[in-house]
């Protein structure tokens, strides 16, 4: 999805939203932020980066839920 929020704003939102994940890993590199962790039987990954897909939105966000094994 794309949003008008900045990458920093998206980071702040997901830091709060995912704070319950005890093993949450946050990686920042080159204007991109990635969150990875496991909750309720799912591996959760969130990636936010500057939008380069076209359109007027500032940021692109990718969210992935995969059943944990």
Percentage above 90 pLDDT, the chain: 93
Chain segment 4-33, per-residue pLDDT in tens = 999 999 999 999 999 999 899 999 999 999
Widest Cα–Cα separation across the chain? 39
Average pLDDT score over residue span 39-63? 95
Task: Give the span between the Cα atoms of 59 and 3, in whole angstroms.
Answer: 5
**Three-state helix/strand/coil letters over the chain:** CEECCCHHHHHHHHHHHCCCCCCCEEEEECCEEEEEEEECCEEEEEEEEECCCCCCCCEEEEEEEEECC
Enclosing domain of residue 23: 2-67
How many distinct structural domains can be found in the chain? 1
Task: Give the span between the Cα atoms of 7 and 22, in whole angstroms.
Answer: 23
pTM for the full predicted model? 0.89
């Amino acid at each position: 999805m794309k949003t008008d929020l900045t990458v920093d704003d998206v980071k702040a939102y997901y830091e709060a939203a995912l704070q319950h994940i005890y093993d949450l890993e946050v990686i920042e590199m080159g204007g991109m932020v990635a969150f990875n962790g496991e909750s309720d039987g799912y591996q959760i990954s969130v990636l936010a980066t500057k939008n380069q897909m076209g359109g007027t939105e500032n940021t692109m966000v990718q969210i992935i839920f995969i059943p944990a094994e």
